[in-house]
Amino acid sequence: MGVQRARRIRRALLAWFRGHARDLPWRGTRDPYRVWLSEVLLQQTRVETARPYYERFLKVFPTVRELAAAPLDRVLKLWEGLGYYSRARRMHAAARMLVRDCDGRFPSTVDGLRRLPGVGPYTAGAVASIAFGRPVAALDGNIKRVLARVLAIGSPIDDAGAVRRLWRAAEELVPSRGAGRFNQAMMDLGATVCVPKRPRCLECPIRHSCASYASGIQGRIPVRRRDKPRPHHEIVAAVVRRNGRLLLGRRRPEGLLGGLWELPGGKLEQGETREAALVRELREELGIRVKVGPLLARVEHTYSHFSITMYVYACELARGRPRPLYHTHLRWVSLGRLDDYATPAATRRVLRVLQSNGAEREVTAQVEGRQLAATRSSAS
């Protein structure tokens, strides 16, 4: 990049940041717990969405010790709706590691922070620079985009060679003092000016150091690989009742939606009817036989790499006693206590309808009356 060019970029960017820094609740603190919490929440999440979660987490868990002492169920419930639940599980595991191995103190170096569950190169760099003043780079999606345009990188931004080049540029740019402020300035520039579509180049303080702007190609950079078609799956789920309570199962801790509570069911196999799939799934997951009743709801939901249509049926227990053959725990839950359990977004929509109606008969009537439309939501 060159020493003179790096100096020009640093000087112009920091001058701009003095008048354009975003007013965010985690700004102005060097408390490593708060910085780390904000960075975990912001992974794959917009600032507007993360803000209320940050405030709620601090209210319930004001210190890393209190987060570590909490049961995972409580952490997942507070996280509910943010999606990518592995972040919450790893954050909880990291808090416990900090208390167990470090007396609740955060490491101040990138290498030390990288040992914590869920802490990658970007998060480690952000915490080390912002909380501890370490002169280290941080490279999130916003900064990648800024640097890809500054350098006019024409290869896909996630190629290994492009990533190495972006990290080298970020490390060359970061100042020996005030690295945290500089990294936050780069984040804000990408979030507010050097945006993905139609970048506002005339407002950009570093446009005269930007190779893409000089060539007029800023709208075509960064280059990304073409997305593969997103698979779609049909899912069936059961509302099984006993004495006015619904049966929920807790998913295994690893994998997608790990640790959350769900209605039992699963994916259709090729050639199966939905009713046959539900009978098979409940036999495999719970060791029971059921009589499949009416359709209660249909929910459409999109995850990051696939989408689903979930069909929810009322089911009558015909034989056997439910056992956790797939789930880690099973629980019969009254309608009034469903909000105590962290559930996937698609399941939560169905449970809310059940709560509002109170009886399967009324839910079925809504379906037949076309009042309960298929619901759609984004990745969660």
Task: List Cβ neighbours of 51 (8 Å cut-off, separation of 6 or more).
Answer: 24, 25
Residues 212-235: what's their mean pLDDT? Answer: 90
Residue 370 has pLDDT above 50, yes or no: no
Strand ranges for 190-288 from DSSP E: 232-242, 245-250, 261-262, 265-267
- State mean pLDDT over 283-309: 92
Please say whether the beta carbons of 130 and 30 come within 8 A: yes
Widest distance between CA atoms in the chain:
77
pLDDT of 317 > 80? The answer is: yes
Query: Is residue 311 within a helix (H) or strand (E), and if so which, with residue range?
Result: strand 307-319
pLDDT tens digit sequence for 51-66: 999 999 999 999 999 9
What is the C-alpha separation between 328 and 278, in angstroms, rounded? 20
What's the DSSP call for residue 183? H
- For the segment 259-289, what is each residue's pLDDT rounded down to a tens digit? 999 999 999 999 999 999 999 999 999 999 9
pLDDT at 224 over 90: no
* pLDDT tens profile 229-254: 889 999 999 999 999 899 999 999 88
φ/ψ of residue 187, rounded to 5: -60, -45
pLDDT at 360 > cutoff 50 = no
Lowest mean pLDDT among 178-192, 232-246, 324-338, 351-365: 351-365
Give percent of the chain above pLDDT 90.
81
Query: What's the mean pLDDT in 314-327?
Result: 95
Q: What pLDDT shows up at residue 44?
A: 86
From the centroid of its chain, how far is CA 99?
A: 24
Domains of the chain: 3-220 (1.10.340.30), 232-368 (3.90.79.10)
For residue 169, pLDDT over 60 is answered with yes
39 is catalytic: yes
Read off the pLDDT band of 108 (50, 70, 90). very high
Is pLDDT above 80 for 29? Answer: yes
Half-sphere exposure of 345 (CA within 13 A, CB side): 20
Q: Band of the pLDDT at 358, cuts 50, 70, 90?
A: low
Reduced to 3 states (helix: H, G, I; strand: E, B; else coil), residue 360 is helix
Name, in order, each residue with C-beta under 8 angstroms of 220's C-beta and a sequence gap of 6 or more: none
In whole angstroms, what separates CA 264 from the centre of its chain?
23
Question: Is residue 165 within 8 Å of residue 153, measured between CB atoms?
Answer: yes
Mean pLDDT of 126-139: 96
Among 119, 124, 129, residue whose Cα is nearest residue 186: 129
Mean pLDDT of 89-112: 97
- The DSSP string of 69-109 is HS-HHHHHHHHTTS--THHHHHHHHHHHHHHHHHTTPPPSS
Strands 329-334 and 245-250: antiparallel
- In this predicted structure, the answer to whether residue 373 has a pLDDT above a threshold of 70 is no
- Terminal CA-CA length for the chain: 39
Predicted local distance difference test score (pLDDT) of residue 376: 36
> Which residues does 316 contact at the CB level (< 8 Å), separation at least 6?
240, 290, 291, 293
Half-sphere exposure of 31 (CA within 13 A, CB side): 14
Backbone angles phi, psi at 376, to 5 degrees: -125, 145
Written as six digits, the tokens of 190 are: 């990408």
Count of helices and strands (H, E) across the chain:
15, 7
Residues 164-171, mean pLDDT to the nearest whole number: 96
Burial of 360 (0-12, 13-18, 19+ CB in 10 A): middle
Mean pLDDT of the chain, nearest integer: 91
Q: What is the dihedral of CA 276, 278, 284, 289, to 10 degrees?
A: -80
**Cβ burial, residue 224 (10 Å; 0-12/13-18/19+):** exposed
Indicate the pTM of the whole model. 0.83
How many CA atoms lie less than 13 Å away from 94 in the CB half-sphere?
Answer: 26
Residue 368 pLDDT grade (very low, low, confident, very high; cuts 50, 70, 90) = very low
**pLDDT at residue 313 tops 90:** yes
Instruction: Give the C-alpha separation, 34 to 58, whole Å.
Output: 8
- The predicted model gives 148-159 an average pLDDT of 94
Say whether the peptide bond before residue 322 is cis (omega within 30 degrees of 0).
Answer: no
